[in-house]
Amino acid sequence: MSRTLTGLRYRLRPHPGQERILARSAGACRWLWNWALAYREDLWLAARSAGARGFRGSTGYVHLSSLLPGLKERYPWLSEAPHHALQATLRDQDRAFSSFFAGKSGYPRYRRKGERDSIRFPDPKQFAVDGDWVKIPKLGWTRFRLSRPVTGRVRNITLSREGAHWGVSFCAEGQFSLPNRGLPAVGLDLGAVQSVTTSDGRVVSFPVTTPSEDRRLRWLQRKASRRLKGSARRSRTLAGLAKLKRHLVNRRRDAAHKLSTRLATAHAAIVIEDLKLRRMTASAAATTEEPGRNVRRKSELNRRMLAHGLSDFRRMLAYKCERSGARLVAVDPSFTSQTCSQCKHCAPGNRKSQAVFLCAACGHHANADLNAALNILAAGQAVTAQGGSGVAPADELRTHPRRRPPARLAPTGIPAKAAAAA
């Protein structure tokens, strides 16, 4: 098995003095990201206003990192953050712009305080790991909760904050294999009502928001909207809201991890639908001139589908199948819910309801999701019998939808005012 990269995340246990250093360092990295983003946009604006078409300028990592000493002289508090973490911030932004110009991701956004605060150390020479202790620049030895062994060679670490807690993530390189019992292939039907239905009759529903949790979530959101921005009461309300959301996400993610591990270690092949989740959950609002139809109903369907975290589950299944040696096959989802798994008769009238399938030709009666899972399995076996892989491209396993540039930017990423002047 080839060597691969994996992420290992643990709860960090810094003392109050170290927490203050972490908060200041994360703030410095966030400020530097926003400054570099504004610097790039100003250069674009000046260049396009001057008529320099096709200009990209000296806005790469090498140029921006050369400006760091001057920034530290002008803003002495930047020196409180580790120098390597500041460099890593500029390198991450340069990589983000490269992905944007290549059409692989959205336009980089400005970062806000308290949202995804993180510090990254890219060089193994900058840190050390010993048992449940990690040595970090500016912090020294800091303890973390060793919930599982740190395996492989640690290549870089990232410190990030989730609510009131800090965590440390190790990017480790090694051979991470999973056992496989080699059971027959199984087909999976993913849905908005039942999360996963297998072709052998198992039905798994990931935990979604209960009615009481949904009421509390809405109550906290309304409460936060009434608080004065910057007040202590609003901060406490937002902290409670973030804690509840984090609990819901962790609960669903835990169920997805357990199911994907069971499937990847049990079956020799797994067949899933090649669903275009980004398109399926797109808004139906359309435009002001041409409004969409059934907007509220489509919004509710989107919320129900996104609540199951199907994209996360598919991503987990992909890398776990790679580690266990199982074959993951993605097939065309067209008409799988309207086709009879017994006589292959396809008609919209076969699907009587969300849960009932009744074939108009042969009278076959079954659960609709189970019938679809059997069709998916048959389609996957046909693909492999013809020598095809059927594996969906890695682009479709993204967890987050592709973002568009801000409204003040043209589709090419050029500032809109400059594009209009040009």
Taking alpha carbons only, the member of 406, 413, 409 closest to residue 55 is 413
**Is the C-alpha dihedral spanning 79, 95, 97, 105 positive or negative?**
negative
Which value, to the nearest 10 degrees, does the dihedral of the CA atoms of residues 117, 406, 277, 261 take? -20
The span from the first CA to the last CA of the chain, in angstroms, equals 54
The answer to whether residues 207 and 251 touch, using CB atoms and an 8 Å cutoff, is yes
Contacts with 367 (C-beta within 8 Å, 6 or more apart), sequence order: 197, 355, 356, 357
Task: Give me the catalytic one of 94, 117, 273, 322.
Answer: 273
Active-site residue (options: 117, 189, 312, 322): 189
CA 390 to CA 278: how far, in whole Å? 20
Task: Give Cα 56 to chain centroid, integer Å.
Answer: 29
Residue reference for tokens 């500032």: 415
Distance separating alpha carbons of residues 313 and 256, to the nearest angstrom: 5
Active site residue 189: yes
Residue 366 sits at φ, ψ, to 5 deg, of -160, 170
Q: Beta-carbon neighbour count of residue 233 at 10 Å?
A: 12
Structure-token pair, residue 41: 């946009």
Q: Which amino acid is at 132?
A: D
Whether 290 is catalytic? no
- Is 200 catalytic? The answer is no
Q: At 12, phi and psi to the nearest 5? A: -85, 145
Task: Name the residue type at position 324.
Answer: S
Question: Which positions are annotated as active-site residues?
Answer: 189, 273, 369
